[in-house]
């Protein structure tokens, strides 16, 4: 008999890892969380760049498992800042005494399934090997930051930052020439804040993004009381909605509304909906002609906001449907380009050639800088799952198995890797949903799988090749009905040169996904083997 260190080892102390730890305790397991950072919070520990906040309503981007927690915590804004979310995570960790089961500052290099003993050996950066029954990667979908492959990248001698590895100390931009490469959600949040402080800001944009206004606001005492009185309803609505945001999509097609009505509706959504703008009509992501109406509306807004016509043209997204690449939710992004101290460089016109010790150079000009910020995103969805060398039955590596793209059952498990699970992995609604809701759904459902395994005295829980092939096929068929493949995006693996081009998240929505999971559970966890 092998001696087990833990029943479960969980990688990552972000929202998913902490929630998994709470569930593991409920299951009666001895569990350990291994976290690479020197603090808990995952995404919200690392991404502390100026302007960082969530674009999901705070009350929805919160745990639902404890009514006491819901009643005790008071959110101050609709869209909470990174420091507020981190305070929430710390509050949860203290309230539920989680810290004693978390090891910080330690990464997992690799893990292998021991075929003889039916358990996992997890290798950590402090040289230890932890033996456990269940191995769970709760590493998040956007946690392996990506640096661009630009000649001379590492030669810059000034201050260099990546939004996803922002230092703890305040960065002072006053009197400095700052360059930002990247205009996704992180860049879009950071740019307006840096522009207010820097002597000059140069933004290097490759693909213009669709962005809708956040319309953030303080949550008043009355609103807080209302939120607290209606949490149960709110959660039910969220679970019953496609995105997990509780927004009921408009049942009308954009093409059914006449242009005046449609414009009025878009105006209303623009003022109130934030990310929900994408649900203004049910078919915006299904029909290109419908999508064009929303895309045209947003382009007109950009044009009306940005004073310099040439800059407005550069900022207007074209060539891909609205929503097919993750839209941004901003606070004063387009207005920032009306400032005298901000320059937009469109690197589709001016090819970005090299980074030197003091500048970023294109084929047209050299931009001298004191500070260079990479807002260049992540190796999404599979990056963190494939970083450690994970080997399943007979030493087969996950990297080999997923060489042509991830194959999973429900985004939770993969055949040949018994007792191994990942939270909001490829094949689950993950990045297309309110990820907090998806995390909790995945974890509570996984608990049901594990209980079923225990009821059968099984030493391994594994998915079948047939179940994962069918599910992966369903994920592809569902995505093929949408416009998602018409954009180069991290949903499709386009963010990394050479990454297989497959659509990774499940686009059928959290409601359909939840129902499918319930159906599988009711059928006795069809697609799993318990041995
Ligand atoms: O990363 P991104 P992000 N040369 O991949 C550019 C979540 N999030 O950190 O579009 C030049 O979106 C790249 O250009 P292109 C949210 O899910 C949420 O901003 O590939 N440029 C793009 O402009 C979000 O979607 C919140 O052509 C290069 C940018 O870098 C996700 O995290 C806040 C380049 C990367 O954008 C990721 O956002 C922040 C190169 N070689 C983040 N390589 C909220 O909740 C990349 N780029 C609000």
Q: How far apart are CA 270 and CA 211, in angstroms?
A: 10
**From the CA of 377, how far away is ligand 1's center (Å)?**
4
- Please name the residue whose Cα sits nearest to atom 4 of ligand 1: 148
At 196, list the tokens: 């207010």
Distances in whole angstroms, Cα of residue 88 to Cα of each of 19, 63, 76, 92, 197: 13, 10, 11, 6, 28
| Whether the CB of 54 sits within 6 Å of ligand 1 | yes
What pLDDT shows up at residue 1?
41
| Whether the CB of 472 sits within 6 Å of ligand 1 | no
Q: Which of 317, 377, 491, 501 to mutate to test the pocket of ligand 1 (most atoms within 8 A of CB)?
A: 377
At 342, list the tokens: 């901000």
What pLDDT shows up at residue 4?
87
| Whether the CB of 163 sits within 6 Å of ligand 1 | yes
- The upper half-sphere exposure of residue 341, i.e. CA atoms within 13 Å in the direction of its Cβ, equals 18
| Whether the CB of 181 sits within 6 Å of ligand 1 | yes
Q: What atom of ligand 1 comes closest to residue 490's alpha carbon?
A: 5
At 56, list the tokens: 């999901």
Exposure class string for 338-353: b at 16+ Cβ within 10 A, else e? eeeebbbbbbeeeebb
What pLDDT shows up at residue 191?
98
pLDDT digit string (tens) for the chain, length 531 residues? 458 899 999 999 999 999 999 999 999 999 999 999 999 999 999 999 999 999 999 999 999 999 999 999 999 999 999 999 999 999 999 999 999 999 999 999 999 999 999 999 999 999 999 999 999 999 999 999 999 999 999 999 999 999 999 999 999 999 999 999 999 999 999 999 999 999 999 999 999 999 999 999 999 999 999 999 999 999 999 999 999 999 988 999 999 999 999 999 999 999 999 999 999 999 999 999 999 999 999 999 999 999 999 999 999 999 999 999 999 999 999 999 999 999 999 999 999 999 999 999 999 999 999 999 999 999 999 999 999 999 999 999 999 999 999 999 999 999 999 999 999 999 999 999 999 999 999 999 999 999 999 999 999 999 999 999 999 999 999 999 999 999 999 999 999 999 999 999 999 999 999 999 999 999 999 999 999
**From the CA of 71, how far away is ligand 1's center (Å)?**
35
| Whether the CB of 207 sits within 6 Å of ligand 1 | yes
| Whether the CB of 143 sits within 6 Å of ligand 1 | no
CB-based contact 123:408 (threshold 8 Å): no
Q: What atom of ligand 1 comes closest to residue 56's alpha carbon?
A: 45
Q: How far apart are CA 362 and CA 181, in angstroms?
A: 12
- Please name the residue whose Cα sits nearest to atom 37 of ligand 1: 377
Q: How far apart are CA 391 and CA 122, in angstroms?
A: 10
**From the CA of 495, how far away is ligand 1's center (Å)?**
9
Q: Which of 148, 182, 326 to mutate to test the pocket of ligand 1 (most atoms within 8 A of CB)?
A: 182
**From the CA of 125, how far away is ligand 1's center (Å)?**
29
Residue with tokens 């004191």: 370
Q: What are phi and psi of 517, to 5 degrees?
A: -60, -40
| Whether the CB of 186 sits within 6 Å of ligand 1 | yes
| Whether the CB of 182 sits within 6 Å of ligand 1 | yes
* Confidence check on the interface: ipTM exceeds 0.95, yes or no: yes
Q: How far apart are CA 457 and CA 527, in angstroms?
A: 18
Q: How far apart are CA 278 and CA 259, in angstroms?
A: 18
Q: What atom of ligand 1 comes closest to residue 187's alpha carbon?
A: 19
| Whether the CB of 41 sits within 6 Å of ligand 1 | no
Q: What are phi and psi of 474, to 5 degrees?
A: -60, -40
Question: Model-level pTM?
Answer: 0.97
**From the CA of 207, how far away is ligand 1's center (Å)?**
10
| Whether the CB of 237 sits within 6 Å of ligand 1 | no
Residue with tokens 């947003």: 298
What pLDDT shows up at residue 2?
53
**From the CA of 181, how far away is ligand 1's center (Å)?**
10
Helices (H), ranges, 153-205 = 185-197
Q: How far apart are CA 224 and CA 228, in angstroms?
A: 6
| Whether the CB of 190 sits within 6 Å of ligand 1 | no
Q: Which of 62, 376, 430 to mutate to test the pocket of ligand 1 (most atoms within 8 A of CB)?
A: 376
Q: Is the dihedral of CA 54, 438, 493, 391 positive or negative?
A: positive
Pairing of strands 6-11, 31-34: parallel
CB-based contact 107:124 (threshold 8 Å): yes
CB-based contact 129:333 (threshold 8 Å): no
Exposure of 231 by Cβ count < 10 A (0-12 exposed, 13-18 middle, 19+ buried)?
middle
**From the CA of 431, how far away is ligand 1's center (Å)?**
13
At 10, list the tokens: 């969980």
| Whether the CB of 326 sits within 6 Å of ligand 1 | yes
Q: How far apart are CA 148 and CA 143, in angstroms?
A: 16
| Whether the CB of 142 sits within 6 Å of ligand 1 | yes
Give the H/E segment covering residue 366.
strand 366-368
**From the CA of 392, how far away is ligand 1's center (Å)?**
32
């Amino acid at each position: 008999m092998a001696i087990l260190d833990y029943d479960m080892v969980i990688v990552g102390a972000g929202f998913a890892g902490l929630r998994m730890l709470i569930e593991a305790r409920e299951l009666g397991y001895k569990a350990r969380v291994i976290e690479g950072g020197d603090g808990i919070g995952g995404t919200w520990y690392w991404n502390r760049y100026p302007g960082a906040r969530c674009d999901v309503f705070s009350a929805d981007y919160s745990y639902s498992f404890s009514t006491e927690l819901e009643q005790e915590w008071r959110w101050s804004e609709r869209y909470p800042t990174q420091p507020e979310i981190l305070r929430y995570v710390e509050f949860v960790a203290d309230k539920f005494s989680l810290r004693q089961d978390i090891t910080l500052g330690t990464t997992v290099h690799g893990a292998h399934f021991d075929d003889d003993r039916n358990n996992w050996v997890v290798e950590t950066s402090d040289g230890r090997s932890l033996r456990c029954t269940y191995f769970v990667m709760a590493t998040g979908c956007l946690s392996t930051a990506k640096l661009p492959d630009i000649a001379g990248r590492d030669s810059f001698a000034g201050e260099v930052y990546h939004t996803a590895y922002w230092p703890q100390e305040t960065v002072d931009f006053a009197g400095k020439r700052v360059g930002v490469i990247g205009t996704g959600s992180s860049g879009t949040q950071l740019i307006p804040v840096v522009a207010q402080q820097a002597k000059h800001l140069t933004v290097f944009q490759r693909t213009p993004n669709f962005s809708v206004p956040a319309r953030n606001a303080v949550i008043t005492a009355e609103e807080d009381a209302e939120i607290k009185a209606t949490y149960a309803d709110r959660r039910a609505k969220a679970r019953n909605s496609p995105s997990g945001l509780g927004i009921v999509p408009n049942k009308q097609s954009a093409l059914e509304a006449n242009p005046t009505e449609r414009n009025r509706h878009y105006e209303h959504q623009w003022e109130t909906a934030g990310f929900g703008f994408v649900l203004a009509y049910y078919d915006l992501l299904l029909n290109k002609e419908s999508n064009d109406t929303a895309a045209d509306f947003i382009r007109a807004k950009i044009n009306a906001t940005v004073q310099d016509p040439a800059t407005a043209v550069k900022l207007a997204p074209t060539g891909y449907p609205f929503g097919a690449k993750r839209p941004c939710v901003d606070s004063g992004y387009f207005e920032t380009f009306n400032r005298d101290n901000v320059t937009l460089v469109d690197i589709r016109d001016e090819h970005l050639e090299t980074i030197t010790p003091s500048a970023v150079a294109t084929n047209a000009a050299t931009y001298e800088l004191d500070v260079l910020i990479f807002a260049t995103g992540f190796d999404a969805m599979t990056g963190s799952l494939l970083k450690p060398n994970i080997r399943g039955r007979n030493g087969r590596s996950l990297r080999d198995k997923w060489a042509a793209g991830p194959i999973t059952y429900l985004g939770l498990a993969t055949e040949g890797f018994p007792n191994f699970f990942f939270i909001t992995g490829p094949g689950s609604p993950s990045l297309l949903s309110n990820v907090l809701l998806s995390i909790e759904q995945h974890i509570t459902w996984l608990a049901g799988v594990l209980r079923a395994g225990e009821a059968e005295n099984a030493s391994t829980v594994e998915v079948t090749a047939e179940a994962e092939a069918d599910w992966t096929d369903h994920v592809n068929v569902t995505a093929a009905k949408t416009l998602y493949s018409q954009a180069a995006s991290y949903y499709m693996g386009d963010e990394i040169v050479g990454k297989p081009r497959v659509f990774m998240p499940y686009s059928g929505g959290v409601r359909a996904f939840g129902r499918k999971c319930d159906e599988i559970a009711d059928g006795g966890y069809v697609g799993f083997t318990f041995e």
